[in-house]
Amino acid sequence: MERTQMEWYQQEHQQTLDTLQSTETGLSSLEAQNRLAQYGLNKLADEEKISRLQILLHQFKSPLIYILLIAALVTLLLKEYIDSGVILAVVLLNAVIGYLQEFKAEESVRALKNLLVAKARVIRDGHEQEIPGTDLVPGDIVLLASGSRVPADLRLLHDIELRIDEAMLTGESLPADKTTAVLAETGLPPADQTNMAFMGTAVVNGRARGVVVATGARTILGTIAGEVRSIGQLKAPIQHKIEQFAHTIGLLVLGAAGLLFMIGLLLGETVKTMFMVAVAAAVATIPEGLPIVVTIAMAVGVARMAKHNAIIRKLPAVETLGSTTVICSDKTGTLTRNEMTVTNLYDGRQQYQISGTGYEPEGQVLLNGTAVTAASIPELALLQRIGLLCNESDVYEEEGRYKVDGDPTEGALITAAMKAGLQPELEKEQYGQLAMIPFESERGYMATLHQAGEQRLILLKGAPEQVLEMCATSPQQLAEITRVATAFAAQGMRVLAFAWKEAAPDQDALGHHDTASGLTFAGLQGMIDPPRPEAIEAIEGCKKAGIRVVMITGDHAVTAQAIGRQLGIIEQDDAVLTGRELEAMDDDALFEKVRSVSVFARVAPDHKLRITRQLIRHGQVVAMTGDGVNDAPALKAAHIGVAMGITGTDVAKEASDMVLTDDNFASIFSAVREGRIVFDNLRKVTFFLLPTGIASIISIIITMIMGMPIPYLPAQLLWINLVTNGLQDVAMAFEPGEKGILKRPPRNPLEGIMSRLLIQRTVLVGMVIALGVAWNYTTALQEGNTLENARTVAVTTMVFFQFFQAWNSRSEYDSIFRINPLGNPFLFYSMIAAVLAQLAFIYAPPLQWVFRTVPLTATEWVRVLAVAASVLVVVELDKWLRRRSA
């Protein structure tokens, strides 16, 4: 099967197929399997993985670790071996924990990427099917349609108006027109091989069928090294912001620690003591856990979104989702089920109803309540026949259920025709299809050319306005047709018009000039597409959450209005703006309109881009859905481009930030909820970490000024900060959402992590903790206890302050007594673990020896717990006051 001397583009179709040992109907799955073993997976070199070693080394790249390492060295020189041991243990522990966390985060992000494997449509075992693009082998017959990424290098065998954007290979910005004809020249560059389609390029128009000539590294793309597009490696802005925030705090703390060092010296402490204290205080205050917790919180959010059918492609989307203010959604399939059923017909004279739902051909065509068939009414037969034949889709039975292969709109037409007694196979045989203009939204119609006995016929279907322009109809007729079409649409139906025309007996191709005029109107078909119940619920939810929902549809304004009402997007008479009206407006006029209009009808993809831009100009945070190639610019322009996982094209998916695996509007809403939770959790962790850190420094300063020894040994500070604290901050990234999370307005995207409330409360809590620790510590000393005892009291008070502060952090407004303690089991158990660790710290002899602790008396325990609990009382009071004034 080696390549012959001849290039692929120089070979005739049959020759190409023979060389590849394939046929027009493709390979068998068995043969494909064998070839896969021989040629390997159809993919380019793997993206570079971040190695475990890199992750481990990364743990040692923080300023905190540098400080600790310097401290370890200094203590070693000072012969304080226990201290250096503790510090080194802490460094190691920190590295191990950081490694595990980061590794886990990396893994989960990587696993999510695999959910998004590109698919390819092939013919195998004689029928069309979808397979992972990586499974393609030379000889496979591949089908292309507008919006697909070419999955391997192909020699084209058939095509209809195929145009491919090859910019990534050739640098040519205009899409290339493709043919299937043999090219005689030798040595053509890829740009001139017009009968080939190359891996990675994008189909912008038309359809085609081709045979795979090369896969994976043997493709043109594969031979160009380093062309791999990286996906999703981006860091979210919030991660940068928090890293910066932690960095700034770190610098401030270093300054403060330096100050502490000076004050200590002035108050007569030794350089040695003060050095250790300053280092320990700095380590205790720097919120070194923050950046890693941010990453984990994001990863948790991404995983939760995936569970709700939303796959995040770009990490920043997680953050932005939480502040979404407008969701612009396509109608068909996203807000509605995309399960079309034709219910009403009009053949130009009479109206009919059709019973039955879904694609099962069970139901009847009723004329004034009586069942009729196509056989008895020629006009009905014509209308239904056009629906059946001017069609690219199939309805088939599988496990007793009827399904559509292709476009649901077209499937509905086939089922309707079957209900009238027409048989698809027979009809297709009698009226052989010779040529086709496929349906494209921008054009609004589709046409086919058929052989009907001696005659040739052009059959056409499309949006009524479009079709009627091509038909010769009298003004009365036109008025009547429009009246019926509007009546159908007012019930929320999608309406299609049908027409036909005789062609010259020798015509064998179809162009747009053939359909421009002189057609005969054959009738209308109206189909329902019920709203998704969960979309109605989600729209209701959006309203409560202060998010506006805008519906954008290719359907008629009257249909759009009716569906918009059923969905609860608009009230009775709210205006609908059509693509045509939009076309006539300049950006400023549209800017005014998007303020109030929530339903857009007969919209073309480029209108979506304009709508997005104007909404953004209003300062809105916009999520926009899309599926076609031409939706890509709007998806890119929106803050969150949402592509459809099932019906979406590769190009749309690549342009998006998020892909919905179920194409369902409700999944966007769930993702917004998760986005809000992620942000909330970042705030919770920050509020948990900052005040305790600040309190350690302040308590040291207070006691020093009071002329007492420093309340903690350096090793003890490290213990508090890295052991007891370290367990709980990570757990907080797993907090579930609060009850009211969807009842408040979207967050202002300009607002950072530190809100005003958070700053005020951080200061408040920081003071309470510092004073509380100082109080317990001085009391213990004044009662004549040993310094070891007083320090044990101080450290334990601090640890229990953190315990209560963890409870405080779980909600900004809600009382902790209204939150399920086991709502976040991870946090609950890590808090228990922290308490147990603290007991070991006090009572386990080895730890007593390392940290120089002593057992506490019952009175001391009561005092520790009572004082520590005060922070809970203070914050509960603050929450209560704020709830009251809200």
Shortest Cβ 371–ligand ATP spacing (Å): 27
Tokens 């597409």 belong to: 529
Q: Choose between 7 and 407: whose C-beta lies nearer to ligand ATP.
A: 407
Binding track, positions 492-511, relative to ligand ATP; x by CB under 6 A: --xxx---------------
Binding span for ligand ATP by CB under 6 A among 32-40, 90-98, 459-467, 590-598: 459-467
Contact between 395 and 403 (Cβ < 8 Å): yes
Enumerate residues 633-692 that contact ligand ATP by CB under 6 A. none
Shortest Cβ 555–ligand ATP spacing (Å): 4
DSSP assignments along 793-852, one per residue: HHHHHHHHHHHHHHHHHT-SSS-GGGS-TTSSHHHHHHHHHHHHHHHHHHH-HHHHHHHT
Enumerate residues 199-238 that contact ligand ATP by CB under 6 A. none
Contact between 211 and 22 (Cβ < 8 Å): yes
Beta bridge partners of 205: 163
Q: Choose between 604 and 827: whose C-beta lies nearer to ligand ATP.
A: 604
Among 291, 462, 541, 711, binds ligand ATP (CB under 6 A): 462
Binding span for ligand ATP by CB under 6 A among 407-415, 701-709, 731-739, 862-870: 407-415
Among 75, 324, 409, 809, binds ligand ATP (CB under 6 A): 409
Under rule CB under 6 A, residue 553 binds ligand ATP: yes
Binding span for ligand ATP by CB under 6 A among 285-293, 438-446, 708-716, 787-795: 438-446
Contact between 738 and 814 (Cβ < 8 Å): yes
Shortest Cβ 97–ligand ATP spacing (Å): 48
In terms of C-beta distances under 8 Å and separation of at least 24 residues, what long-range contacts does 367-370 make, across chains too? none
Binding track, positions 312-341, relative to ligand ATP; x by CB under 6 A: ------------------xxx---------
Under rule CB under 6 A, residue 439 binds ligand ATP: yes
Q: Choose between 313 and 607: whose C-beta lies nearer to ligand ATP.
A: 607
* Residue sitting closest to ligand ATP (CB): 554
Q: Choose between 286 and 527: whose C-beta lies nearer to ligand ATP.
A: 527
Residue 447 neighbours by CB under 8 Å, 6+ apart = 390, 436, 437, 458, 459, 460, 461, 510, 514, 515
Under rule CB under 6 A, residue 469 binds ligand ATP: no
Q: What span, in angstroms and rounded, lies between the C-alpha atoms of 802 and 810?
A: 13
Residue 503 neighbours by CB under 8 Å, 6+ apart = 449, 456, 457, 458, 514
Residue 714 neighbours by CB under 8 Å, 6+ apart = 71, 83, 86, 87, 276, 277, 279, 280
Residue 179 neighbours by CB under 8 Å, 6+ apart = 156, 159, 194, 195
Which among 413, 518, 401 is positioned nearest to 458, based on CA atoms? Answer: 518
Binding span for ligand ATP by CB under 6 A among 68-76, 291-299, 320-328, 490-498: 490-498
H helix and E strand count, the chain: 32, 26
Q: Choose between 166 and 555: whose C-beta lies nearer to ligand ATP.
A: 555
Binding span for ligand ATP by CB under 6 A among 27-35, 114-122, 394-402, 436-444: 436-444
Helix, strand, coil: what percent of the chain each, to 5? 50, 15, 30
Q: Choose between 410 and 735: whose C-beta lies nearer to ligand ATP.
A: 410
Q: Choose between 488 and 841: whose C-beta lies nearer to ligand ATP.
A: 488
DSSP assignments along 454-469, one per residue: TEEEEEEEE-HHHHHH
Amino acid identity of residue 410, one-letter, is E
Under rule CB under 6 A, residue 445 binds ligand ATP: yes
Shortest Cβ 101–ligand ATP spacing (Å): 42
DSSP assignments along 255-282, one per residue: HHHHHHHHHHHHTT--HHHHHHHHHHHH
Shortest Cβ 497–ligand ATP spacing (Å): 7
Alpha carbon dihedral 765, 769, 775, 780, in 10-degree steps, equals 160
Among 444, 737, 749, 823, binds ligand ATP (CB under 6 A): 444
Shortest Cβ 467–ligand ATP spacing (Å): 9
Which among 553, 125, 530 is positioned nearest to 339, based on CA atoms? Answer: 530
Among 175, 264, 348, 554, binds ligand ATP (CB under 6 A): 554
> Quick count: other Cβ atoms within 10 Å of Cβ 112?
18
Under rule CB under 6 A, residue 863 binds ligand ATP: no
Backbone angles phi, psi at 548, to 5 degrees: -90, 145
Shortest Cβ 542–ligand ATP spacing (Å): 18
Which among 681, 716, 874 is positioned nearest to 799, based on CA atoms? Answer: 716
Q: Choose between 157 and 603: whose C-beta lies nearer to ligand ATP.
A: 603
For residue 694, CA distances in Å to 267, 557, 699 come to 21, 60, 9
Shortest Cβ 390–ligand ATP spacing (Å): 8
Q: What span, in angstroms and rounded, lies between the C-alpha atoms of 440 and 268?
A: 84
Shortest Cβ 545–ligand ATP spacing (Å): 24
Among 31, 405, 407, 606, binds ligand ATP (CB under 6 A): 407
Beta bridge partners of 437: 447
Instruction: Tell me the number of residues near ligand ATP by CB under 6 A.
Output: 21
Under rule CB under 6 A, residue 446 binds ligand ATP: yes
Binding track, positions 354-393, relative to ligand ATP; x by CB under 6 A: ----------------------------------------
Contact between 590 and 611 (Cβ < 8 Å): yes
Q: Choose between 650 and 680: whose C-beta lies nearer to ligand ATP.
A: 650
Catalytic residue among 83, 330, 627, 680: 330
Shortest Cβ 580–ligand ATP spacing (Å): 13
Q: Choose between 446 and 457: whose C-beta lies nearer to ligand ATP.
A: 446
Under rule CB under 6 A, residue 555 binds ligand ATP: yes
Among 140, 288, 410, 650, binds ligand ATP (CB under 6 A): 410
394 is catalytic: no
Among 441, 566, 661, 870, binds ligand ATP (CB under 6 A): 441
Pairing mode of beta strands 141-145, 119-124: antiparallel
| Count of alpha carbons within 13 angstroms of residue 603, beta-carbon side | 30
Binding span for ligand ATP by CB under 6 A among 149-157, 223-231, 396-404, 554-562: 554-562
Shortest Cβ 388–ligand ATP spacing (Å): 13
Under rule CB under 6 A, residue 801 binds ligand ATP: no
Shortest Cβ 678–ligand ATP spacing (Å): 30
Shortest Cβ 341–ligand ATP spacing (Å): 15
Contact between 578 and 557 (Cβ < 8 Å): yes
Q: What span, in angstroms and rounded, lies between the C-alpha atoms of 433 and 456?
A: 10
Backbone angles phi, psi at 336, to 5 degrees: -110, 170
Q: Choose between 441 and 486: whose C-beta lies nearer to ligand ATP.
A: 441
Q: Choose between 396 and 813: whose C-beta lies nearer to ligand ATP.
A: 396
> Quick count: other Cβ atoms within 10 Å of Cβ 522?
25
Q: Choose between 563 and 702: whose C-beta lies nearer to ligand ATP.
A: 563
Binding span for ligand ATP by CB under 6 A among 307-315, 351-359, 460-468, 571-579: 460-468
What's the length of the chain?
Answer: 886
Residue ranges binding ligand ATP (CB under 6 A): 330-332, 407, 409-410, 439, 441, 444-446, 461-463, 494-496, 553-556
Residues noted as catalytic: 330
